[in-house]
Amino acid sequence: MWRDYFGPGCRIADIDIDPACAAFADQDISIFIGDQADPKFLRHVLEQTGPPDIVLDDGGHDMRQQIASFETIYPRMRTPGVYMVEDSVTSLWGGSSADTPDGTTFLDRAFACCVALHGWTRNPHAFRRLGTPPAERKGVVAVSEFCATTDAIAFYDSVVVFERKARQEPWHEAR
């Protein structure tokens, strides 16, 4: 289905814990058998495949899996790119947050990403400087790598989508 959707030349890397899935590998589809909650395994996959353009996480539904995958893969993706997490509703079902050391859910982490996205504007002093054209500004406002490489986060029923795109410090023209 995905090969048909993305067209000829697309390369697909699939991660699954079921060894039987390896039977679906072919010249354009690589199958990696392992646990998506294991950052070391995920880094190994990325070493083999290179940085992805698109990630569709429809794998495990516990918080360790969703969080480990996002935190390991997202910073290593190409820019521009898209990272989608399906079944994010499992964050609301309770119990699964006990899987993480700090008790947070994937939706908790996604909300923290929303806050990080506002790196240039959440400080009132930094926000005031946005009325000055970039070439006339003194200094820079340091923001996280996440803020500098994420254009948008969209929440849908059971899906969270992160759009990677290089961003420059914004400015608004006062008229």
- Could you tell me which residues come within 8 angstroms of residue 27 by beta carbon, excluding any fewer than 6 positions away? none
d(CA 47, CA 41): 10
* Tokens representing residue 91 in the block: 């964050």
d(CA 12, CA 18): 17
Catalytic residue check, 125: no
The CA-atom distances, in angstroms, between 88 and each of 9, 72, 75, 103, 112 are 30, 17, 20, 16, 15
The CA-atom distances, in angstroms, between 91 and each of 98, 107, 152 are 11, 6, 21
Kindly name the residue from 44, 61, 118, 172 that is annotated as catalytic.
Answer: 61
3-state secondary structure of 150: strand
Name the residues annotated as catalytic.
Answer: 61
